[in-house]
Amino acid sequence: MHRERSSILPWRLVLSALALVLLASPALAGAAAGPKYNDKVIQTKDAKVIEGEVTEESIDGIKIGGVEINLRAVLRVEYSDAPLAFREAEDLRKVGRYDEAGTKYQAALSNQVARKFWLEPACKFGAAMCQLEEGTEIAAAEAGFKDLLKEYPKTRFRYEAMVGWGRALTANKKYDDAIAKFGDLAADASKAREDEWALRAYLGKSQAYLEAGRYDKAAEEADKTAKSCGTKFTDIRVQSQVIVATVFVRQVQYEKAIDLLRTSIRDIAGLVANEMEKNPGDTRLRKTEAICFNTLGMAYYKKAVKARSQDDYREALLGFLWNVVLYGNQFPNEHAQALDYASRCFKELKQDARATDLVQELKKSYPDYK
């Protein structure tokens, strides 16, 4: 966060600080292009000196002493003068209230000329993510990511936007385009030694293969990705295993899917508890767990439909209720699916009143759910 100082630093000190940052910049030192961290620099705004970070989006927006600064490093950054609407939009997006967040992003852009260099790409990215996660405006999300990367090719959201674009292409059933987009990201991230983004690209690629019905390729890519994660990227490893398990389900190998999913859930359980305690703002592992339980529920549900087994319907119900009870609407896509299939399980188990309650909740909370 920026801290405003009451006095103005001498310009020599300002420029010295800037020089240190420029010398420390990995990008200027010849490192591969891609999101990188960097030290803080001194900016000026409204005759005050502010300590903060600058992103590549700032190239045309930040001035020091009237001189344009050509910074090339991309940083994670929070601006102290962010409009209230933008901060509210970010908070709403984190808890899955995507419609409201999208409206706030639009409001944040009103009359913000001075902040446009960082605020516009941030709002464009946030709005596209809301459209993608909401699932009802996928075409708009695809266009949003495309426009963002065209207008701000060096944005700090570059890799995240490429993943979002690939996911939108997959959701729009443009599978070959999605596979190509994830391939571009994997090549770019690997060249820049951004291991996490390369792995997320491979994960997205395997998901596109899965949705295209190319199960052998999906399992092959997902298995390779899981083995490449080691112990560092647990959420990516487990989500890759979920794809393999989903292939098993679609190939009517229910027991294999169930065994793999139960192993994945055991592996991630302790890490989820640690995330909730030490880093409650990061929900990647919790969302991964939610995906695991829904997929486990689906494996049992498909098995129950085939065998007409009440025991399997009960096991399926337990999987879906994990999200209904524990996570609620924190993860809307998983929550909607859990409500839908938990109600089906209750109906098969002759508990019609409970089934009806969940159906009503589904219609009220997710009227566009199909």
Across 237-247, average pLDDT: 95
Give the lowest-confidence range in 17-26, 146-155, 331-340: 17-26
- The mean of the pLDDT values for the chain is 80
> In which band, very low, low, confident or very high, does the pLDDT at 150 lie, cut at 50, 70 and 90?
very high
Last residue of a domain, one of 120, 154, 172: 172
Domain coverage including residue 13: 3-68
What is the CATH number for 365? 1.25.40
- Bridge-partner residues for 48, per DSSP? 45
Domain presence at residue 245: no
Domain presence at residue 148: yes
Question: Is-contact 349 357, C-beta < 8 A?
Answer: no
Across 9-37, average pLDDT: 34
> In which band, very low, low, confident or very high, does the pLDDT at 135 lie, cut at 50, 70 and 90?
confident
Residues 109 and 53 in one domain: no
Question: Is-contact 142 164, C-beta < 8 A?
Answer: no
Domain presence at residue 99: yes
Residues 260 and 369 in one domain: yes
Residues 270 and 368 in one domain: yes
End-to-end Cα separation, the chain, in angstroms: 42
Across 263-267, average pLDDT: 92
Last residue of a domain, one of 127, 156, 172: 172
- pLDDT recorded at residue 62: 46
Across 245-258, average pLDDT: 96
Instruction: List, for residues 45-60, the tens digit of each pLDDT value.
Output: 443 434 444 454 554 4
- Bridge-partner residues for 67, per DSSP? 64
Residues 20 and 99 in one domain: no
Instruction: List, for residues 224-233, the tens digit of each pLDDT value.
Output: 999 999 888 8
The 3-class SS string of 127-170 reads: HHHHHHHHCCCHHHHHHHHHHHHHHCCCCCCHHHHHHHHHHHHH
Question: Is-contact 324 332, C-beta < 8 A?
Answer: no
**Is residue 238 exposed (0-12), middle (13-18) or buried (19+ Cβ within 10 Å)?**
buried
- pLDDT recorded at residue 119: 85
Residues 50 and 93 in one domain: no
How many helical (H) and strand (E) elements, i.e. helices and strands, does the chain have?
A: 15, 5
Residues 283 and 361 in one domain: yes
